[in-house]
Structure 1
Amino acid sequence: MRTQKIAKPEKLTVTASTIFEGDALTVLRRLPDCSVQTIITSPPYWGLRDYSIPDQLGLEGTLPQYVNALRSIFSEARRVLKDDGIFWLNIGDGYTSGNRGWRAPDKKNPARAMSVRPDTPDGLKPKDLIGIPWRLAFAMQEDGWYLRADIIWNKPNAMPESVKDRPTRSHEYLFMFTKDEKYFYDRTAVMEGNGSGKRNRRTVWSIHTQAFPGAHFATFPPALVEPCILAATKPGDFILDPFFGSGTAGLVAQQLGRKYVGIELNPDYVALAAERLEADEKSIIRVAA
């Protein structure tokens, strides 16, 4: 029998701001240990969007498959994060599909239409709120992460909904995780108020959503990213977003004198982020699966 030794892929080196085009888990496995000071990301939400890209996250057949996929990705992210670093995770919730394999467009939100949707998770009923953010947060606690804060992102300009039997959802969660019980956190950089009236930052952040031309779906508002970077990094530090999208985390990092590492599977979004960040071809690296 003929055998062949398969060499382990070499680690990727990162010395300047870089966009990696490829699968998040594949790229993360090749990044050096303890190489970024903070992680700020918003992964695709489960069963809410079809980005029409092979191997996309968010259309797993079951909720446990989705949570486990994110646990695997964030386990590698934990290795890449410095020991005194912070991981900021923005994640939204959703409702069960009632086992409908599709979702009709909403007159007020046409982009919600989908031709495929996961079945209702075991143990839940039609119209149940799933509780995805907390299910994921508890799973990450089990993996060793310290859950330090649950921040409510209040959206004053939230997208209208056509529902008449419950309140319109106008918030998402931003979780603050750390690797250790001691970590770098600059509280003075993100205090609220002015002058002698300043106080420690609270856990409800009222920030308007903000569209970016060219991005088909909602993007990170820079005002949500900025306090995360200011509190968790110093000038010159690296920030990582493993679901880079249109590159908002990188843009804010640039503006604040930090460096970025972005990972994005969709080549259209890589091109969009590169243009937005004025990144040259040398700073874009395509990583095969």
Structure 2
Amino acid sequence: MHCVVTSPPYFGLRDYGEPGQIGLEPTPAAYVARLAEVFTEVRRVLHPDGTCWLNLGDSYAGKANGGPSVGLTRRADRAELIPPRRNTTAAAPYKSLLGIPWRVAFALQDAGWTVRNAIVWAKTNAMPESVTDRFASRTETLFLLTRSARYHFDLDPVRETPVDPTGGAEWAQRRKQGVPGRRGRNPESSVTAADRDFAAHQAGRNPGDVWQIPVANFPGAHFAVFPPEIPRRAILTGCPPGGVVLDPFSGSATTGMVALQLGRRYVGIDLNPDYHRLALRTRLLERPLPGIDQPAS
């Protein structure tokens, strides 16, 4: 596998009705341990210069009936919201944020993964929350993990065009002259940081680690789902053309749909065969497959 893009079930959010499912563990520590086991196998099959993009939401410590995850934006195309009965108060005081994403990241780091980025997904159309004693949660975390210090990473397909491309070039020229502000020019300080970034690379600036992306909708889903823009950026950046993309928590195969659109191959894994049928019918095939949409002849 050249690239992994995935979003596992969040801790204490939904019961997908599958034996052995992840997310209903009795404690955060047990949840982290389960994910660490999964990503040990992911690391085993990942190419030495491959990348792994892991999206996780956080959770709050609740009472005996469990606490919902932050923002309720798990890829909900896979199940109805069924609050599991789990006591999270042993891990932290009631109402405390559990820090699940970083607990997982540190566990994976201890297992040998290199944590290269903690990208903030800022949801521009986040679902409203009824909470009144804290600010509404509108972000999730996307970790970029690698097996080693050297890996495939191509920024050019996702670079951003600066607001003032000429300003960047002007700043670069003044820098070369070593006389900022002379000859009637504006001083260097008047040029934006974005323009300076553009001056360093004419294809555009590095988009940074805060991604403002709206949540997506999917037919039949009652909550916001994993947006295609996240795997699009991850695959363009972290998977070579023609490479293989893996999602070990495939669901409705948003990652797979994007991978195929971008000319990559795809492997999706999920406990529930119904999700594979849904993915094949709606996302991965241009024509029906016998046994999926119609009886075999």
TM-score (ref. length: structure 1): 0.78
- Does 2:139 correspond to 1:171? yes
Distance in 2 between residues matched to 1:176 and 1:121, nearest whole Å: 30
Structure 2 residue matching 1:97: 3-state secondary structure: coil
Distance in 2 between residues matched to 1:233 and 1:136, nearest whole Å: 23
Distance in 2 between residues matched to 1:79 and 1:263, nearest whole Å: 16
Q: CA RMSD in A?
A: 2.4
Does the aligned pair in 2 maintain the 1:219–1:245 contact within 8 Å?
A: no
Matched residue count: 243
Distance 1:115 1:230, change over 3 A: closer
Question: Residues 120-199 of structure 1: matches in 2 within 5 Å?
Answer: 120-193=88-161, 196=165, 197=198, 198-199=204-205
> Could you tell me which of 262, 270, 276 is aligned with 1:264?
270
Question: Residues 15-30 of structure 1: matches in 2 within 5 Å?
Answer: none
Does the aligned pair in 2 maintain the 1:89–1:174 contact within 8 Å?
A: yes
Distance 1:78 1:42, change over 3 A: same
- Does 2:77 correspond to 1:71? no
> Could you tell me which of 220, 223, 226 is aligned with 1:220?
226
> Could you tell me which of 119, 125, 130 is aligned with 2:87?
119
Which amino acid letter does the alignment assign opposite residue 229 of structure 1? I
Higher RCO, 1 vs 2 (CA within 8 Å, ≥6 residues apart) = 1
Which amino acid letter does the alignment assign opposite residue 146 of structure 1? T
Does the aligned pair in 2 maintain the 1:90–1:175 contact within 8 Å?
A: yes
Structure label with greater radius of gyration? 2
Which amino acid letter does the alignment assign opposite residue 116 of structure 1? P
Structure 2 residue matching 1:264: 3-state secondary structure: coil
**Residue 114 (structure 1) shift:** 3.3
Instruction: Find the counterpart in structure 1 of residue 184 from structure 2.
Output: none
Higher strand share: 1
Distance in 2 between residues matched to 1:141 and 1:240, nearest whole Å: 20
**Residue 192 (structure 1) shift:** 1.5
Instruction: Find the counterpart in structure 1 of residue 9 from structure 2.
Output: 44
Larger deviation, residues 39-48 vs 275-284:
275-284
Larger deviation, residues 172-181 vs 230-239:
230-239
**Residue 121 (structure 1) shift:** 4.4
Does the aligned pair in 2 maintain the 1:91–1:173 contact within 8 Å?
A: yes
Structure 2 unaligned regions, length at least 5:
72-78, 166-197, 199-203, 293-297
- Does 2:27 correspond to 1:62? yes
Does the aligned pair in 2 maintain the 1:250–1:262 contact within 8 Å?
A: yes
> Could you tell me which of 58, 63, 80 is aligned with 1:98?
63
Distance in 2 between residues matched to 1:242 and 1:153, nearest whole Å: 21
**Residue 182 (structure 1) shift:** 0.7
Distance 1:282 1:141, change over 3 A: farther
TM-score (ref. length: structure 2): 0.76
Structure 2 residue matching 1:82: 3-state secondary structure: coil
Does the aligned pair in 2 maintain the 1:152–1:203 contact within 8 Å?
A: yes
